[in-house]
């Protein structure tokens, strides 16, 4: 039985999140109502909720989630009520040249769950059936709720063009960085270095396969990497912190013909030192952007389905860095704590069925 109303965390203005009772969304033709079992805070959520805002108000935030299908509108042949699912938050227009080429993450006129349309910090949410993916047996809701950051990490790994035997550095070991460490190992990196300023996050990185962990609050990562690579640098560098300092370091540690991928969202400019500019040129380093993740119809380029397959095989895990679980009522406080830097955290989840 689906109730008439539900709890949802809605943004009324930047910094003004209210958890309130609202009607359960009604599904239209080819839409799916999902009972949300777990929903995570993305790195992009605190700035959105506390500073830059959403595209309309009030709006239910949250776009990383998993749950159970509660209802389906019309005829959707491959999904059924009770199915355990997650959904891709990006709703591409389908009409622009990038959509036509299957590059949905570059869509010119996209809609987005949790920033442009109502999202997942609610007991129920609806989206179009096309965006819904079934979770493999054995993958729990909490892990499945991290499919989005895992797919974003995979997208950056593809952009880095890692080959078997490459050395890889991951700067920033938040959830995306920790997934990037795992992906780097999966695709055949011979050595993965992880850099962060928190020992606890680096401990998890080591547990997930990082060979070398550098705490940048104690050791200069550029020097440390120079030392272990005999001055040659690292082949593939993935920056997930979104900080100008780590973006700069990334350019300094890449090897000849190496690549640097900017994956972490930055809200600042970047001044490259003379040494870094010289290095990018002399070493012929490619600096590449990576945006969101792809769900193209070509199987080997589908970040979402690939991620779910590897989770289903137990080769990609999230549990070691899910650090906080809260009921929906605590959304405003948790966002304030993260925004005011009162919380050192990995993946923070809301469990909307807990009151």
- Helix then strand then coil, % of the chain, to nearest 5: 30, 30, 40
The CA distance from 344 to 328, in Å, is: 20
Min separation Cβ 95 and Zn ion, Å:
6
CB of 232 to Zn ion, least distance (A): 34
Residue number closest to Zn ion, CB atom: 42
Span interacting with Zn ion, options 8-16, 144-152, 186-194, 289-297, rule CB under 5 A: 144-152
Q: Could you count the other beta carbons within 10 Å of the beta carbon of residue 55?
A: 10
Applying CB under 5 A, which of residues 148, 239, 302, 303 lies at the interface with Zn ion?
Answer: 148
- Dist CA 274 CA 45 (whole Å): 34
Bridge partners of 13, per DSSP, are 16
What's the closest the beta carbon of residue 281 comes to Zn ion, in angstroms?
34
Instruction: Please report, as residue ranges, which positions from 195 to 234 form the binding site for Zn ion (by CB under 5 A).
Output: none
Report whether 27 contacts 71 (CB < 8 A): yes
The smaller minimum CB distance to Zn ion, of residues 62 and 258, is found at: 62
Q: Does residue 176 touch Zn ion according to CB under 5 A?
A: no
Cβ neighbour number for residue 191 with a 10 Å cutoff: 18
Binding mask 35-74 for Zn ion (x = CB under 5 A): -------x--------------------------------
Helix (H, G, I), strand (E, B) or coil at 41: coil
Nearer to Zn ion, 67 or 92 (CB): 92
Distance CA 164, CA 206 (A): 20
Cis omega (within 30 of 0) for bond into 216: no
Measured from the CB atom, is 109 or 319 closer to Zn ion? 109
Where in 81-120 is the site for Zn ion (CB under 5 A)?
A: 92-93, 96, 99, 107
Tell me which residues touch Zn ion (CB under 5 A). Answer: 42, 92-93, 96, 99, 107, 148
């Amino acid at each position: 039985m689906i109730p008439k109303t539900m709890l949802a965390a809605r943004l009324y203005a930047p910094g003004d999140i209210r958890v309130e009772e609202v009607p359960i969304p009604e599904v239209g033709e080819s839409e799916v109502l999902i009972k949300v079992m777990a929903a995570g805070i993305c790195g992009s959520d605190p700035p959105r909720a506390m500073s830059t805002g959403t595209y309309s108000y009030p709006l239910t935030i949250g776009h990383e989630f998993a749950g159970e299908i509660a209802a389906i509108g019309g005829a959707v042949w491959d999904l059924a009520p009770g199915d355990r699912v997650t959904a891709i938050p990006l709703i591409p227009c389908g009409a622009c040249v990038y959509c036509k080429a299957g590059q949905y993450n570059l869509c010119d006129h996209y809609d987005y769950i949790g920033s442009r349309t109502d999202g997942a910090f609610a007991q129920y949410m609806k989206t179009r059936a096309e965006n819904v993916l079934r979770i493999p047996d054995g993958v729990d809701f909490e892990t499945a709720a991290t499919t989005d950051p895992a797919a974003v990490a995979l997208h950056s790994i593809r952009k880095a063009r890692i080959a078997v035997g490459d050395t890889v550095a991951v700067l920033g070991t938040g959830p995306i960085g920790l997934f990037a460490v795992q992906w780097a190992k999966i695709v055949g990196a011979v050595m993965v270095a992880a850099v962060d300023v928190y020992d606890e996050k680096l401990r998890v990185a080591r547990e997930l396969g990082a060979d070398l962990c550098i705490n940048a609050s104690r050791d200069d990562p550029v020097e440390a990497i120079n030392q272990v690579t005999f001055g040659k640098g690292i082949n593939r560098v993935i920056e997930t912190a979104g900080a100008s300092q780590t973006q700069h370091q990334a350019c300094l540690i890449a090897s000849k013909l190496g690549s640097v991928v900017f994956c972490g969202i930055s809200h600042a400019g970047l001044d490259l030192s003379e040494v870094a500019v010289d290095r990018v040129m002399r070493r012929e380093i490619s600096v590449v952007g990576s945006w969101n993740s792809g769900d193209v119809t070509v199987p080997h380029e589908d970040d979402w389905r690939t991620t779910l397959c590897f989770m289903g095989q137990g080769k990609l895990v999230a549990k070691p860095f899910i650090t906080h679980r809260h009921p929906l009522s605590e959304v405003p406080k948790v966002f304030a704590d993260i925004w005011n830097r009162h919380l050192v955290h990995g993946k923070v989840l809301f469990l909307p069925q807990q009151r």
